[in-house]
Chains A and B, each alone.
Chain A
Amino acid sequence: MSASLLRAENLHLWRAERHVLKGVDLRVRGGELLQLTGANGAGKTTLLRALAGLNHLEAGRVFWNDQDVREDRAGFHAALVYLGHEPPLKSDLTGIENLKYWTGMRRPLTDSAIAEALHATGAAGFGTRPVRTLSAGQRRRVALAGLVLAAVPLWLLDEPTTNLDTEGQQLIERLVATHLQDGGLAIAAVHHRLAIDPSRLRELNLFA
């Protein structure tokens, strides 16, 4: 299987009157992590959302495996998971139920697969409790389980270490490292750089 490749050329985006993305270029291969750094408001979240196809790009194109993502939007979305600031979980459902409906909408899941994913992110102990009873860090672990379960090549992560303690940050680094080793690629907006094998690390700094 040839390596996956995400390429973006000359991305321009305006938010109201502000020129947020001014000709951004990037290139990430399978096995690499691109870290987006920059001050608050520099456009990290906007860039991630634009790559995912949520925000509209005024100019520029995004290519996934050398195909313009606009030609097959559904196919592109099936190959990525985007995790924003808040974990996308319904507070009245349990962790297990959330995963069943969220990731289950993408690909068929078995109960054992769900249990395994929760175990991998340290959330096995509270998977059967309603999400509203969980702390912010616990919710993030459930969301990460969903990420692992989706088994997609492209991860778009917006500040994945938010609300996690040191052990949690190490979890993120482990999950990303495994993902990269399997040939996946990730783009993460971070405030603190992740400790990943430097040969796999790229960085893009955004200026406000």
Chain B
Amino acid sequence: MTWTWFHRLGSPPYIYRLAGILTPWFGWLAGVLLVGALYDGLVIAPPDYQQGDGFRIMYVHVPTAWLSLMIYTWMAVAAAVGLIWRIKVAHAVAAACAPIGASFTAVALLTGMLFGKPMWGTYWVWDPRLTSELLLLFLYLGYMGLRSSFDDLQRADRASAVLAIVGVVNVPIVHFSVVWWNSLHQGSSLSLTGKDTIATPMLIPLLLSMLGFTLYFVAVLLVRLRGEVLRRERAASWVAEVVAT
């Protein structure tokens, strides 16, 4: 039944092998999609009616922002699985996700700032999206900081799992409060996308980019996961065999 599949995923050597097999698939597919999205977004798609060519950075900003949130959720789910069922591989997944998620958040922030300069003449605005992304970055850094403050790996895994779960519950609340705060002050004319509908020629590169970045995340996660698994299981005999070959 499906539970044997689930139990096999919990076995470090199995995951190591599986990740190794899957990585090139995800990697190449991501590469193709991203190149396609880049070409489509930069060359084929028309400039935006209101925001001109500067809008093209949205093809990077929107997927990375969306992924930064998805990765945090995924990290919290993996951490919860590791905490409740005490599956070490799940903790390894959570640990591997964090730096990737933080990097995506940083990229989302940077691309948001790059969008802001030509649009509003300033690199930073306290708009709800950017502010939420910044707070999400703090959550990631806090998670990674907590992990690194323990020498005992098991305690690091379990404590950071609690933090991730608490964080993921709070993310909607934090986001809501930031949106609420922002609506009090400016006429919310400063908004990052400000679009209700996106024309189809712009939708395709956006979707390609979204998919491409997601597959890229999976590929990088698999690579990092293999490294995490090796590091955690370094005392085991199967690791010695792998390293010898």
Contact = CB atoms under 8 A, between A and B. Distances in A.
A–B: direct contact at CB < 8 Å: yes
**Chain B: interface size category:** under 10
Contacts, number: 8
A16 interface: yes
B151 interface: yes
B235 interface: yes
Of B151, B153, B154, the most chain A CB neighbours within 10 A belong to B154
A56 B153 CA distance: 14
Contacts of B152: 15-16
Contacts of B235: 17
A16 B151 CA distance: 8
Nearest to B155: A16
Interface residues of A, number: 5
Contacts of A14: 154
Contacts of B86: 56
Contacts of A17: 235
Nearest to B158: A56
A56 B158 CA distance: 12
A121 B86 CA distance: 43
Interface string B137-169: 000000000000001111000000000000000
A182 to B, nearest CB: 38
B13 to A, nearest CB: 18
Interface in A119-154: none
B149 to A, nearest CB: 15
Nearest to A16: B152
Nearest to A58: B86
A16 B154 CA distance: 7
B61 to A, nearest CB: 42
A16 B235 CA distance: 11
Interface in B178-230: none
Contacts of A56: 86, 154
Nearest to B151: A16
Nearest to A15: B152
Interface in A1-29: 14-17
A70 to B, nearest CB: 12
A68 to B, nearest CB: 16
Nearest to B152: A16
Nearest to B86: A56
Nearest to B234: A17
Contacts of B151: 16
A15 B153 CA distance: 10
A58 to B, nearest CB: 9
Interface string B233-245: 0010000000000
8 contacts: A14-B154, A15-B152, A16-B151, A16-B152, A16-B153, A17-B235, A56-B86, A56-B154
5 smallest CB-CB distances across A and B, nearest first, come from A16-B152, A17-B235, A16-B153, A16-B151, A56-B154
Given A16-B151, A16-B153, A17-B235, 5 more contacts: A14-B154, A15-B152, A16-B152, A56-B86, A56-B154
